[in-house]
Every structure is written in structure tokens, then in C-alpha cells.
Structure 1
Amino acid sequence: MKRLLTDQKDITRTTLENVQPARLEEGQARLRLESFALTANNVTYAAVGFQTGYWKFFPTGVDGQGLVPVWGVAEVVESRADALNPGTRLYGFYPLAEELVITPHADAQGMIVDAAPHRAELPAVYNRYSPVQPAPQRQEDLRALLQPLLATSYLLCDWLIDNDFFGAEQVIVGSASSKTGLGLCKFLAEPDTPRRHVVGLTSAGNVPFVERTSGCDQVLPYDRAEEIERRPSVFIDMAGNGRVKQAVHARLGDALKH
């Protein structure tokens, strides 16, 4: 079984390693990874792996070496668990390796939860696997690329609604071309979402893409943030660019409600 080990102190250093497949115990299932997405998000998992606990999901047994998590689909190829039959395909959180052994439990929503002891204290959203049917490859690719952060987009929109947009008339979305930013813009543009003026900030090269796909009322490149209308606003920042944040604060002043 191949796996890609990453140096936890220097994530630019990796080693492709062959290891013996783990012996399957009673109550466990073996999943073989079919496909996965690799994006800047996965680099973040590695870069902040110690602070956020991402290195804990898939222990390697090798000091200083970790398995970077990815989102994708795997097939159950062997099972000694009542909750999973061979041939079942599961979408979820996997290591950069050819296979993963889990301790599957079925929950009330029809999801599969990895009940392995080392994952018990980790965030539940990463321990749940969704049974999926075979689909065209493009659909499989889009699911792996977009679904992990679509939930974040939805929760941000829901949080804004729950807080009545903090009294804002305008929502400014930084890095509106990112997956989370684009998803948030799309949710804000839904007919049943309380109407607010939505401004997308992005790099100059991505302005046409965001204008075409996001549903924003206005799209501006970062270097034109001073053109944002001065009205009660909330700023959702995906990029962490200090210069852009400073420009937004300078432009809006007390009109920036949150």
C-alpha cells in the first residue's frame, strides 16, 4: 500500500512510501481511495496541522511525518463490520494514501461515522462519510472540489441572517473568487435570502469570472476598494490580506458594523 508522507516541520518535503496493509480487525472496514481533490485548502491543512489538529486524523506511526487530509471517494473493498458492505462507495475525508481502515458506525441520518478511538475527540464533521452512487467523472470531480467548503459558505450566510446582518445594508466578500467566497455570494443571491447589496472583492484577473458566476451586485478588484459605497456594511474576509482589510476599514470607518 502506497502513502505520501509529509514532513510536518517542512511541508515542501514528501516521501512516497510502501507499507504493508493494516490487518483488518472485527468491526473494521478497508476503503480504497478512488479519486480526490488537491487544492490550496489541503496545503492549509498541512501548514496549520499542529494548531488545528489535522495531523491527528491519520496517524502514521513515523515520528515527524504526517498524512495530509484530502476530500474524495473511496470504495469498501473488505469489511468485517455490519455497518458497511463491500462495494459501497463513500465520500469524505481521507489521507493521501491508497487506502484507509475505519471503524464504521451508521448514524440516524444514513451517514457512516468512523468511530476509531483516536478520532473520538476530533471535529465530527470530518469523521462522517456519505454513501454515494457512481456518477460521471465531472460530477465526482466537482463534488470533491466544492462540497467541503460549500457547507462553510452556507453557515456563513445562515450566521449573517441569524444576526440580522449586524444591521448592515451591504455585505462585502473578500476573495469572492475563492470556493467559500463564491459559495457565500451565491447563497446571498438566493431569492429567499433577505436582500442586501453584495460587493465581491477579487484580483483584477478574476473580476470577469466573479461577475459572470457569483450573483454579486458589484465586483471590484482589490486596488479599487476605495470605490465601495459608504453605507452600513459587514465584511467577510477569505483572504487575510492586510492591505485590503486596511483599505476597507479606511473607506467605511464607523459604517463597518462587523
Structure 2
Amino acid sequence: MQQPVLETFPASGRRVLVTGAARGLGRAVAHAFAANGDRVAVHHGASREEAEATRASLPGSGHALVGGDLADPDETASLVAATEKALGGIDVLVNNAAVNAPHPPVDTAYAEWSAAWQRHTAVNLLGTANVSHLAAQRMIAQGTGGRIVNVGSRGAFRGEPDHPAYGATKAAVHALGQSLAVALAPYGIAVTSVAPGFIETERVAHRLAGARGEAIRAQSPYGRVAAPDEIAAAVLWFASPQAQWSSGAVLDLNGASYLRT
């Protein structure tokens, strides 16, 4: 039986990979870690210029830029290898990258429906699984413990009628995280997930305009949606030395807009 690792996981100065960090929540997460004194690999898919802007804006030094399509296992392996080379290892992985395109079942043609499910599964679930595997192998080899934090969604629980593949793949990400939490605990690696509700980012700005936006804000008794840095703060804590005993947890961050029982 594998002997438990005596964790020497640091509070700062860590080597952190944040996927999908070009803008929005990923950018906020990268900033939170950089402000904590960590070195961050800013991952991007197609948005290289935005990712470069994110890296340039981070406090501290030693940050890196890594690119790759998480739907492609070879590109995924390359970006993790590039992170390890640039940072000298990986202590924390934040699985933030995801696609979320509408495909309501009533109005979507079958070809588009099938393509949407293929893309969501390839990026949101398989991409997350592959990055997690590759990062965990490096954490195990380092022998000092580690953290994997997945960005899931409230939609995994309440349903996403216009984005069903998004909701389904995020539910799978939560389940993946719990499986990894059990498998990786003997190596001092804690795995957790956050399940945000609506976040005010560039990607959803159009949905927050007008009467539709008012209805979305009204879902929370606070009458608003989350700011990215609110979610980033929870991710940062889950990656801390103090959070090891939270491994396996899925934390709701939705302003009481959806309450699980």
C-alpha cells in the first residue's frame, strides 16, 4: 500500500497552472495566485493576445504563457510539459477552461446538437481529465503534495435547458474531482470543485443586459451576480495548505440562487 506523503505543501511561491486564463474568471484566478506570491502559467486556447495581456498584468515575476486546445490530447500533453519547463514543476492546477455554447434541444438541428455534445465533452470533461492526470503525475513525482481545483457549475445541479451539454459535463467534472480526491489523497494531493452560479464576465455580458439580465440577477436574494474575484478567492483558499481536509468537496458559490438539499 502506498505510504501517505508527509505534505510539505507551501502557502506561496507555488507553481500554478490555470487553464482558460485569458480573460474572465480565469484571469481573476491568475491574479489571485500571483498576488499571493505564486508563479502562474496562463493557459489559452485561441485567445493568445488576451492571454498575453493577462500575463503582463500579473503582479510579481516568473509567470508563463502556455497555449493548446484541450480537446486535443497531444496539445494537452504539450501545454503541461511547457508549464513544467517554464515553472520548474506544478504544485497547483486550476481546471477553469470550458466551452458553453447554446444548443436547446427543441430548436437545435441534430447535426448541431451532436457537434455541441462532442465539443463540450472533449473540452469540459476529457480536457479536464487529461490535464488533471498529467499534472497529478508531476505532483506525485515531486513528492510534496499538491492541489487540483475544478471550476464546475451550479448548472450541474439545477439543470441548463439551453445548454444541456454544459450542465452534464460540469456534473461529470464534479464526479471526476471526487474520484481523484480519493485516488490521490495518499500522495498529499487534495482535489476540490467550486460550483459557481452566474459570474459577470465578458463572455456572458450580453445575457446580463436588459430585462433578461434583471431576471438573472433576481435569481439571487442579493439581487446581483458574482464578481470574478469572489470566485477566485474561494479557488485560492481551496489551493491552500489549510484546505487539505476539504478534499472531495463541491462548494456552491451562487449567492443562494440555488440551494441543494
TM-score (norm 1): 0.30
Decide which structure has greater strand share.
1
Q: Which has the higher contact order (CA 8 A, sep 6+)?
A: 2
Decide which structure has greater helix share.
2
